[in-house]
Amino acid sequence: MRIIFYLLSIIIANVVTAAFAPLQLGMFIVPMGTLLIGSTFIFRDLVQNKYGRAKTYLFIFIALILSGIVSFILGDTVWIVMASAISFVISETADTEIYTRLKLPIAWRVLYSGIVGGCLDSVIFVVIGLSPIGANVLPWEAIPAAILGQIIVKTVIQMFGALIYNRVRVINRKPLISE
């Protein structure tokens, strides 16, 4: 189920981003799919817990292919597909490697690796895909707000994910964060 949730969260994030206009939260611009992208890092961590780092890279590759196919079917521009692929590979790799190397309870590893992955994903995707360098969807003045908006949303999702994950483990008598 972990693998299915991981792959589905990526596919659904692409579909939701294409189907709905971005949220305008004050000065921040947040694509609707961002709400799901934050969860992909959590699901990837759960996949790594069960299957290990080497197999996780196989699932990241499968997710990358599926994401590209879905983006193509949805009619995304080449710049958007390319930005998505580059940001995905870099952010998922960073998340995987940070998660692997941190010697902390799992909930903290989920939080910290996801925040770094989410920040990288946001910066790379917005600059390559949405800025005048790429698809020219946003002017340069809007780029910082777009990046920051995505980082905030992804960080909040990572925090909730880590708290929920920890709570489930505590309920199951396997605490991850010292009380």
pLDDT tens-digit readout, 75-117: 998 999 999 999 999 999 999 999 999 999 988 999 999 999 9
Q: Percent of the chain having pLDDT more than 70?
A: 96
Angle of the 106-125 helix axis to the 143-171 helix axis, nearest 10:
160
* Confidence (pLDDT) at 172: 76
Gap between the Cα atoms of 5 and 22, Å rounded: 23
pLDDT tens-digit readout, 125-154: 999 999 999 999 999 999 999 999 999 999
Q: Which of 30-44, 55-69, 116-130 has the lowest mean pLDDT?
A: 30-44
Average pLDDT over residues 120-126: 96
Domains of the chain in sequence order: 1-169 (1.10.1760)
Are 177 and 166 within 8 A, CB to CB? yes
pLDDT tens-digit readout, 59-78: 999 999 999 999 989 999 89
Are 41 and 159 within 8 A, CB to CB? no
Alpha carbon 88 to its chain centroid, in Å, reads 8
**36 — pLDDT class (breaks 50, 70, 90):** confident
> pTM for this structure?
0.89
The answer, yes or no, to whether residue 169 has pLDDT greater than 50, is yes
* Confidence (pLDDT) at 170: 75
Alpha-carbon dihedral sign for residues 137, 142, 143, 147: negative
Is residue 26 helix, strand or coil?
coil
**121 — pLDDT class (breaks 50, 70, 90):** very high
Q: What is the DSSP letter of 29?
A: E
The answer, yes or no, to whether residue 179 has pLDDT greater than 50, is no
